[in-house]
A and B are shown apart, each in its own frame.
Chain A
Amino acid sequence: MSELSVNHLLGIKYLNKEDIELIFQTADHFKEVINRPIKKVPSLRDITIANLFFENSTRTRLSFELAEKRLSADVINFSAASSSVKKGETLIDTVSNILSMKVDMVVMRHPNPGAGIFLSKHVNASIINAGDGAHEHPTQALLDSYSIRERLGEVEGKKIVIVGDILHSRVALSNIFALKLQGAEVKVCGPKTLIPKYIESLGVEVETNLRKALEWCDVANMLRVQNERMEISYFPSTREYIQLFGLNKAMLDSLSKKIVIMHPGPINRGVEITSEVADSDQAIILDQVQNGVAIRMAVIYLLASKIK
Chain B
Amino acid sequence: MGQKLLLNSKEINIILHRLACQLIENHTTFEDSVLIGIQPRGVYLADRLQKILKDDYNIKDVLMGKLDITFYRDDFRRSSKPLEANKTSIDFVVEDKRVVFIDDVLYTGRSIRSALTAIQSFGRPRDIELLTFIDRRFSRHLPIQPDYNGRQVDAINEEKVKVHWKENEGEDAVYVVNK
Contact = CB atoms under 8 A, between A and B. Distances in A.
B117 A305 contact: no
Contact of B77 (A26, A40, A305): A305
Nearest to A104: B77
A33 interface: yes
A42 B121 contact: no
B157 interface: no
A29 B93 CA distance: 19
Interface residues of B, number: 21
B123 A37 contact: yes
A1 B83 contact: yes
Interface stretch (B8-16, B25-33, B43-51, B68-76): B68-76
Contact of A38 (B73, B87, B120): B120
Given A36-B122, A42-B71, A307 B85 contact: no
- Name A's interface SS: loop
B77 A1 contact: no
Contacts of A40: 121
Contact of B72 (A29, A36, A42, A305): A42
A38 B119 CA distance: 10
Interface in A8-52: 26, 29, 32-33, 36-44, 46
A3 interface: yes
A293 interface: no
B146 to A, nearest CB: 24
Nearest to B117: A42
B71 A37 contact: no
B122 A1 contact: no
A2 interface: yes
A1 to B, nearest CB: 4
9 contacts: A29-B88, A32-B87, A37-B123, A38-B120, A38-B122, A41-B71, A71-B71, A304-B76, A307-B77
Interface of B: 68, 70-73, 76-77, 81-85, 87-88, 93, 117-118, 120-123
